[in-house]
Chain A
Amino acid sequence: MIALMVPSSPTTLVHLSAVDIAIIVFYFALVLAIGLYLRRRANTGEDFFMAGREMTAWIAGLSFLSANLGSLELMGWAAAAYQYGILAAHWYWIGAIPAMLFLGIVMMPFYYISKTHSVPGYLKLRFGESSRALSAISFALMTVFMSGINMYSMALVMKVVLGWDIHFSIWVSSITVAVYVALGGLRSAIFNEVLQFFLIWAGALLIPILGLVEAGGWSNLRLQIAHNASAEYTHLWSTLGNFKDNPMGIHWTGIVFGLGAIISFGYWTTDFLVVQRVLSAKDLRAAKMAPIIGAAFKMLVPFIVILPGLLGLAVLSVKLTGETTAVATGGHSYNEVLPLMLARYCGPGLLGLGITALIAGFMSGMAGNVSAFTTVWTYDIYRALLKKNESDAHYVSMGRWSTVVGVIISIGTAYLVMDFKSIMDYVQALFSFFIAPLYGTVLLGMLWKRATAAGGFWGLLAGTLSSIGMWAWVKVDPSALRYVALSPNARDMAENMYRALWCWIVCVVVTVVVSYMTKPKSDAELSGLVYGVTAIPHEAPVPVYHRPAFWAVVVAVAFIIVNILLW
């Protein structure tokens, strides 16, 4: 164990000064202090798992976004921008904004009015115990995998940038997260996520600013990218007419219907990792505003993630490659573009803040996964299937212990994902296994009162199995790609988009067919759960600029404008 705690120092991108180390140490001390301070505020189940349901729209909204700003957002998408160009921004705009607005305006009232503790908890109310068990178990599996990916990504950054031993990074970060989440529960996770949100922006914002100064502005940047890579790298839509015309090997139908309509809606509206933050809001208006506030800031995230990747194409003298080639040649991989840009512009102090921003991103993502896992495990698996009638204190204690156990399992998965060739593609595959079918089930459950318990369960099961089946089919027979992704030229990203679309359709069709074959619940039983039989509380008479719908329209208009400008 002692050996694990001694950082090694092979080749590194940067060397930290004393002030950089002081900034990193201060960050760790502060998040632990917050966890310790909030320990006394996490005595009941409502406090520990739902943060007392007292968050303002701003806190819930920033936490909602920050929980998603994990390692994949910062390092993975900067790498994707270097590799695929500005197409990576689709995951921030069409792959997020419409879904976040839909969550706030349409779905949040049902989650909030039902007073559920979790998304599987909603399925229990709407479809019964079997649907809850299926979604809770699949979510718990997905969550610990995601958490492991977060840990691995952070350890990779620490190894590349600072030369720290990969095991040292994994253990230090995971123990810190385990301590502050186990002590303060969801409130501590949310508190730290908002803090991490500010640190991420403070540490990462300088890279695009200084990068644009060096490149000579956006127009010159586009010219340099066209020279160094291809002009296609700076177009958002115009190259999506054919699989062969863009670096990602994807067609616009995959982006619009696979990513925009299924994967993003599935993630942002049913992934409990993010929905849990909004459920902690103090009232319905705050719950509706939180995703809209999150969407407004999500629109800006490409500035600190995608733009550095594009700047890397223009200003870096070294050519980055895939992980395998980088290891074989001793060069730098795509995943190193953000640390390379950080080292390029940031001197003493700023470097420490930039590294802290990366660590904060990783830890907020990890804490989000761990706190969501803890809630689903305790309420939807342990209490529902194993110990039904224990005291509230017993479940809080279980929540604390499951936080620690969840972190330990995540550490195990971190070691597993080290062998995967591409972190991003792997995560997209996981999404399409579990999230896309879940979205079909929840959507029909909320909007169609004829959907029955049997329909919900069999639809969810069929969608999940069909997704895993398609993935396995292409793995066994790569030529099957032409059927799953509609083209033999499609790449991994495109395959994931289409697989999500097909399994969502399977889920919906099976749910509808089985529902028509089985007896529905009465309207009275569905009150508070389904559109049409639920009285949505009217908002108090407030000025138009205080209404969630107004701000949703503002964000939607900005979303349309930015897509047209970068067409």
Chain B
Amino acid sequence: MKRSRFPFYMTIAILVFFYLPIVIVFTQSFNASRFGGTWKGFTFDWYFKLFSDKNIWHAFSNTLIIAFSSTAVSVVLGTLSAFALYKYKTKLQITHNILVYLPLVMPDILMGISLLLFFVSLKLELGLFTILLAHITFSISYVAMVVLGRFQDFDYSIFEAALDLGATWWTAVKKIMIPYLMPGIAAGGLLAFTLSLDDFVITFFVSGPDSTTLPLYIYSMMRHGSPSVINALSVIMVLFTFVVVFISKKLLEVKE
């Protein structure tokens, strides 16, 4: 039977829909006109304005501090969690499983307000530290899920063989399990890192006066600043993402 062309057209339409706004932002970042109703000539002005803004660099360094430290902690906790979920099939692990799943379906705004109330009740001062606690909390589940996926193909008998041959439990973990899990741990860590870089809503709720991260700064620019400067920033961030993804792909290819 002749196939319908409709699914093909729908796929093309979706791809156009996905790229249209991004193309607009790219062209606007070089347009001398502020809102781009018309083309008023090519310019790099918005990029110069962007690089002369000192606050951006401060926000960027805050973002990196939080992303690196929250990734480090959540990778450890998430991997432990995946190990327990894989190894033990007890009632405790059923509860554990639900506990790991729930944050994944919780809308950001609910997690943000609940953590804010928690920190306010504890009289904790809002700032980089509370942002860090929040980021670790939402990253654990993602790391656990990714590492658990890798565990699913792990042959536990190899681990037991190492123990039988006289390895201590810790040596077997270090020499057998962790090397096997490494691609999963790396992927989980990369996911946690990008989620932390990207998060706006939860950070917005638990941040303090001097703990502006890049997404928070972008938001305040969107409300009060010049849209053209954000266009320029967007282009730089998109290019940055491509470079990071390209490098991580190359690294993974070399390993395999």
Task: Determine if chain A interacts with chain B.
Answer: no
